[in-house]
Amino acid sequence: MNLRKKKQPAPEQAIPPGPVDWWLLALLLLLLCVGLVAVLSASGPISQRTYGESYHFFHRQLQTMLLGGVMVALICWLPRSFINRLHYWGIGIVLVLLVLCLLIGPKINGAQRWLDFHFMMVQPMEFARIALVMYLAYFMSSKQAMIREFSRGLLPPTLITLLMCLLLVLQPDLGGTIIMLAILFFMCLGGGTRGWYLVMVLILAAALVVALIIVEPYRWARLTAYLEPFANAQGSGYQIVQSLLALGSGGIFGVGLGGSIQKTVYLPEAHNDFIMSVVGEETGFVGITVVMVLFALFFYRCYRVVLGQRNLRDRLTAYGLTLIIALSFLLNLDVILGNVPPKGIAMPFISYGGSSLLANMICAGLLLNYSRTARE
């Protein structure tokens, strides 16, 4: 997929921005509503055990969603010239935040991935993905004369990405590292990097991921659990087994909203990473299918936004933003189905989580902004 091939218009042919893609906006709102209902149902038991009331996580999710809604409304109407000046600022800010995570971030479950701002916990990795896409889109559109060279076209963005990955590995955050490497690969693919260089990036990413798995026993245990989860159903394979049991219990029509058994004490992170397992248990194959159709339509509208851009930088940016949401969607779905080991990746717009929800809503807001300049 080479996004360079579309003919670039002369500056005087530029068309003024129009209205946002209302279909994209409607699908975003529908997915957010599905997510809110899912969090309300899935988080009740753990909220009651932790905070003594059933609606703590629901209220937090609703507050984050309202904040995200305000951000989407503002981002929709930002001048494109302002957005295009953020690439270096974004990279600089997220690098500082990632370093601060290692220096002053609280250690939660053995990882330093968050910064405590008192009113909310922020996970910089979620926003680092956006910053990386903005930088890569700028670099690959402005350096087209050298993009097919190794030293000037491939090396600079690779080094920036590897620096981010290094900071994520130190947290540690393998899932975030994999997403960063995937973004680099697919952005290089869309930007016109030589095929041989793409193979090099793929080999480098695979070698790095394998090395990170081998050096940490718990990651190796997750990998073996993924290969044979039922062989150690009470140990390293517990999460995958409980997720599959939840999905299997739902049948065709599910056990009904609020009726999940797995979310009570069996399924860890029922309101976070494994929320789609609860959705499958409570609404069955029919409910999961409806959610998948909504996502398919959402990605189709994103695809139309990408192809509708006449400027290469805008096209690459919209492509990268769509990629962020799509990678999280696919990885989360693969985890709950037992196709890949657990990664700690949230389902976009559905899972509970302040940083992930805000970051995905920022991506959606930017895509709505770019939809204003999309032309058939």
**Structure-token match 């753990």, residue found:** 46
Residues 139-163 have pLDDT tens digits of 999 887 777 777 787 889 999 999 9
Question: Residue 46's domain spans which residues?
Answer: 17-371
Answer yes or no: is 209 within a domain. Answer: yes
Structure tokens given for 11: 């500056």
Structure tokens given for 67: 């904040």
d(CA 236, CA 220): 10
Terminal Cα distance for the chain, rounded: 19
CA distances from 293 to 180, 289, 298 (A): 27, 6, 8
Percent of the chain whose predicted confidence (pLDDT) is above 90: 56
Answer yes or no: is 7 within a domain. Answer: no
Answer yes or no: is 376 within a domain. Answer: no
When pLDDT is averaged across residues 5-9 and rounded to a whole number, the result is 52
Answer yes or no: is 8 within a domain. Answer: no
Q: What is the CA radius of gyration of the chain?
A: 21
Cβ proximity of 278 and 249 under 8 Å: no
CB environment 343-366: b (16+ within 10 A), e (fewer): bbbbbbbbbbbbbbbbbbbbbbbb
Answer yes or no: is 9 within a domain. Answer: no
Answer yes or no: is 46 within a domain. Answer: yes
For the whole model, what pTM was predicted? 0.91
Residues 158-210 have pLDDT tens digits of 999 999 999 998 988 888 888 999 999 999 888 888 878 888 888 888 888 78
Answer yes or no: is 6 within a domain. Answer: no
Residue 25 sits at the vertex; the CA angle it makes with 137 and 10, to the nearest 5 degrees, is 40
Cβ proximity of 58 and 338 under 8 Å: no
The pLDDT value given to residue 348: 96
Number of domain units in the chain? 1
Q: Could you say which DSSP state residue 115 is in?
A: E
